[in-house]
Structures are given as structure tokens and as C-alpha cells.
Structure 1
């Protein structure tokens, strides 16, 4: 099997996750319009396993107003699919940035934050999305979790890419529950293994 098709190997000096970092969060959210910066705080943790996966991030979200709907007079708010996807992207991006900065697990322990900032806008692609609302999220403030469960380099038509399996779970204190699964492809990843 070619190294391109294998999961990344853990770096021996991988560090543990640091606490909530507002500076990193602000940098992650800087590419979003100000009224669409929904993730207000987050903390990352790793699994007690050899490869440290799954990587998990627990976050808090606030959606003060819809990003595209005019508020109704009754203000009967519910989190839409678009806003859910924005929240999912923001917590995922924060999780990846934290994994890079704190060298949590391969392959992110060998990347730099500049590698992330150069790719965040154009190289993070989601070829597969599956979202399920078990009950509408109606609170403007709610909780969410993202987990990277598996990573592997894959062969693309033009070049190798990194494929991540990610789950998302959101809930509020009014019984709202949302579950999502997606595959995230990072094109032009740094440190791609070479075929012997």
C-alpha cells in the first residue's frame, strides 16, 4: 500500500490541548462576516489512545439574528440549515487550528498555523454532508461538539488530499437536537507522503 493511502503517523512530541483561547478563535473567525461569527468559545480534548483520535471540540454558539431572514415580529427563532452549517464549519476550523497549534495529533502536529490560514478559505471542501434535526434548535444560544474521528491521505485525480471524517452534535436547553456527519477534504495539504 502506498503511504498516500495510509493514515498519518503520530508525532512523538505531540502536545496536549490548551484551554479556551480567544485570540485563536478570533483568528479562525476573521474570514467570516462579523454578524456570522457564531462560535463564542470552545475547548479541545484528545482521546486517551495511541493516535489521540477522535479529536473533540466542545463549543458555545450564539446566533443573534438570522444571516439571511428578516426577523419575524414574534421572533419565533429556529436555527436554519445554513446557520447550522456555518456553526459546524466554525467549530471544525477551530478544532483543526487548535490541533495544529498544540501539535495534538498527526498530521496536524507537523503543520503550521500559516498552513491553515492559507487554506481555510479555498482548500477546505465538504464532498459529503448528512444532517438530521431530531428537534429544532430554537434557542439563540446553544452548545455544540465536533469530533474528527478519522484522517487519511487519499489519491485525487490531480493530487493527493487529506480526508477527514467529522461528526457534529448541537443541542439547546429547549430540547433541540441536531446531528451531522461530513467528510472534509483538505486539498494541497502540507507534508503529503511521497510514493516510494
Structure 2
């Protein structure tokens, strides 16, 4: 019996104090989990987004993704080159693509993203789409802050968001210093 349900490959990425699950299909990265959350976060997401798909632990298949994410966490990578397979609505895809345009070390507001996708009145919908982003870090929703500069919700939690923004700020300032 042939099935069109993709197999999801997953691995636990561990780097210093960072532990989170990542998952991909054969086409690309589909999930980057929250810091130090149990595997149930991945399983619950997979049940909703890929119902009936087989989940297979496979560190080798996830290695290219783990390498780039680790390089990012080391402050050695600003952009990701690994493929991402988005599973979302057209609106979500537009928002997620706009997130990928936010430069490393910089932030934008929800209003900025709404304007970027030519939907200036859709600020709340933009927030919902950002909250539905399954690929943390690589689709940098952590770079979105409140219009007044305040930190706002983040699926990975405020601590993870703060750590990611601080990492980028620190790495950006180190990269700007001539050696």
C-alpha cells in the first residue's frame, strides 16, 4: 500500500545548555523544538501537522541541520543554507518568508512584518502565523518584538528568545570588530 505521508526523521540536538528536538522529511527541515522541552512537543506537533506519518530517530539524516544550527549557536553562522519544508497556509508562508528576511542581529515589529507582506491591517494574524512557526531559529521568529521594543511571546519561551537575541547581538558586535 502506497502512502503519501512523509516519514519524519528526528534527532535530539545537544550543544552546551541547548537541548532541543529537530525533525525533517527527505525534502527539508520541518521542526525545531523549544529549548529543553520533552520529545512530546515534537510528537504533538507531528500528530497535528503530519497525522499518520512515521517518526524515525535518525541522527545521520539530521546531521546537516544540526551542524548549521550548532554553528549558529556558536555565533559562527548568520544564515542557513539547509532546505526547509514549510507546512502552512499561504499567509503563514508569506509571514515565515518575511521572517527570513530580517537581518541577523536585528529585530522587527509585528507591524513591520504585516507591512512587509502588504497586509498592514493583519498584525494579529501575523502574530498568529509567527506563533505557528514550527522551525525555530532557522526561521527567525525570535527577531520579532513589540512595536515599543518589548519582548513578546515566543513558542520557545522568553528565556530562549532572550538568549537567541543576545547571542546575535554579541556575535554581531564581535564580527564587526576588525581583527
Q: Which has the higher contact order (CA 8 A, sep 6+)?
A: 1
TM-based fold match above 0.5: no
Which structure: larger Rg? 1
What is the TM-score with the length of structure 1 in the denominator? 0.23
TM-score, normalized by length of structure 2? 0.25
